[in-house]
Copies of this chain bind each other. A is one copy, B any other.
Amino acid sequence: MDLDKLVHQPTRLELFAYLYRRGESSFTDLREDLDLTEGNLSSHLQRMEDAGAVEVNKEFVDKRPRTTAVLTDDGEELFEEHVQQLESLIDALDDE
């Protein structure tokens, strides 16, 4: 079983799951809901963006900068594959 470290890293696994569930989310919501520091969240999102798994958008709303993140199709696929691997590991526990 080859668990993809991009997805499997604990904080990123939560990020993938959060974005997978909620779709496009603001940086602030991600930071608050997942209880992350700004630096930590930025570095993980950068890593995910570099891998093509997430798209980060920056825009001005009412003259204030707003950053959002959304999984790309590849990101969703990567996460779904990862969940299947975790599910097969868990299901196999009942085999013995």
Contacts and interface: CB of A to CB of B under 8 A. Distances in A.
Interface of A: 1, 3, 5, 8, 10, 13-14, 17, 20-22, 83, 86-87, 89-90, 92-93, 95-96
23 contacts: A1-B10, A1-B14, A3-B10, A3-B13, A5-B10, A8-B8, A8-B10, A13-B89, A14-B89, A17-B89, A17-B92, A17-B93, A20-B93, A21-B92, A21-B93, A21-B95, A21-B96, A22-B96, A83-B90, A83-B93, A86-B86, A86-B90, A87-B90
Contacts of A3: 10, 13
Copies of chain A in the complex = 2
Interface of A is mostly: helix
